[in-house]
Amino acid sequence: MNFNSLQYYLFLPVTILLYYSIPVKFRTPLLLLLSYFFYMCWQPKYALLILTSTVITYACGLLLSSRPENKKVWLALSLTLNLAILFFFKYFNFAASLIEDIVGALNLTVIAPSLDVLLPVGISFYTFQALGYTIDVYRGKIAPERNFACYALFVSFFPQLVAGPIERSTNLLHQFKEVHSFSFDNIRDGALPLLWGLFKKIVIADQLAVIVNTVYAAPDTFLPSQLVIATVAFAFQIYCDFSAYSDIARGSAAMLGFRLMRNFNAPYFATSIRDFWRRWHISLTTWFRDYLYYSLGGNRCSKTRNYLNILIIFAVSGLWHGAALSFLFWGLLNGLYQVFSLITKPLRIAVQNALGLRDSNLALTFFRYVLTFALICVTWVFFRADSLSDAVYILGVVFGLIPPGTEQAFRLITMGLDMANCKMLFIAVAVLLVVDYLGIRCEQNDTRLELIINRTLIPRYLIYFILITATLIFGSYGAGYNPQDFIYFQF
């Protein structure tokens, strides 16, 4: 049941109606049952995996409290069992293939086993959310949850189950014990992010996917300029696709009275790679920071060790996204950017001071926007390419190191969309950037654009009308349309 499907927009109002209609004591069991139903619409049998992860982390949380003398044992047990399940379904074939290639390079022969299993949707998300709970209990940040239904709902809450945000127990768990009375304010607060998310997904991301899929399916048949356009298109596709899921999740939860964390904050207005990762997939970035980076010593160590810690974090982040060398390179390249930035920081400050440029200088800020975006686009090639060799080829062609595989004349229509759709996409992306920029300016004044809009009446309903109309007129759906799954479902 996708967020961009008709079934979901029958499921959501029924859920809201039932939730507010029944007695408070039955609401948690109701949401738990509906959350499992939501997940089982994809893969019924894999609901057992969520239940298994839930039982393991719930039991270990209780053991951490009742038998504190063995705290490290219970933490290790929770981590080991959950990561073993994740490894089996997501990384076993990758590891076996990698071992086979390494052994083959040594002129030895080994036939690695291969498992014919389907990757469970959202397994990386709910596994990390459950592990975060265990670590929080171990560190004493929260008391172990004794109500199993309440904890099970925390792991499987349907709005953010499949693709996040990866919620913290300190933020979400207590909300299931609060009484949420029906309020028009809740519906209002949820409507804007939900409609904005649908616009980004159906109007922008799914249309850009046509260009991206066409070019990246056969990169050797396109010119360097077309590869650049497709890569920039993917940068906006993945942003609109993933942030749309997070927005619809926040909107759906808000209608039920729950507040999920914000997962994106205008990432393409970042002024550095470090700033980008403060704005992109915030729930995962902070998860790695709080539960892995700090555990490795963070920056409370030598510079060399700190640089190594950064590379480890981004390498793990790359593998979290996918079991392929291209994802590993994507993560390491982001890590190398961070390390290079730290090493060159004194030199950059000296040059800036010598030129008399302040951080508030508009030209300098714009330059930082463009440079950061360009560097991120280079990393997106590894993320999107079908293989590491394809990524190397694309970058080689773009930077003139490899001759293009074709000499055909540049034609935008050969990339999958006609000119009318390309013009519409250009306008839609411009609107996206304007909204993100206004959001940044509002935050500089200690407020949020969503709150400003929700306090109005006529402008709010006008925005609703525009988003609904644009989605209906320009969205990708209808007869012959192959609906695009959200990109992060594969992780």
Q: Which tens digits make up the pLDDT trace of 255-282?
A: 999 999 999 999 999 999 999 999 999 9
pLDDT given for residue 369 in this prediction = 95
Is residue 478 over pLDDT 60? no
If you average pLDDT over each of 2-11, 227-236, 439-448, which comes out highest? 227-236
Task: Average the pLDDT over 452-458 and give the result.
Answer: 85
Question: Is 281 known to be catalytic?
Answer: no
Is residue 326 over pLDDT 80? yes
Q: Which tens digits make up the pLDDT trace of 37-69?
A: 999 988 888 899 999 999 999 999 999 988 888
Extract the tokens encoding 360.
């508030």
What is the DSSP secondary-structure string of 352-376?
A: HHHTT--TT-HHHHHHHHHHHHHHH
Q: Which tens digits make up the pLDDT trace of 127-175?
A: 999 999 999 999 999 999 999 999 999 999 999 988 779 999 999 999 9
Name the nearest CA neighbour of 273 among 348, 343, 374, 350. 374
pLDDT given for residue 489 in this prediction = 61
Please, which pLDDT band fits residue 482 given cuts at 50, 70 and 90? low
Extract the tokens encoding 162.
């499949």
Q: Which tens digits make up the pLDDT trace of 362-401?
A: 899 999 999 999 999 999 999 999 999 999 999 999 998 8
Task: Say which range, 109-118, 167-176, 234-243, has the weakest mean pLDDT.
Answer: 109-118
Is residue 294 over pLDDT 70? yes
Cβ atoms of 51 and 45 within 8 Å: the answer is no
Please, which pLDDT band fits residue 450 given cuts at 50, 70 and 90? confident
Q: For residue 110, which phi and psi values (nearest 5 degrees)? A: -150, 135
| Catalytic one of 174, 180, 281, 321 | 321
Task: Average the pLDDT over 338-344 and give the result.
Answer: 93
Q: Which tens digits make up the pLDDT trace of 63-77?
A: 998 888 889 999 999
The total of other beta-carbon atoms located within 10 Å of residue 241's CB is 25
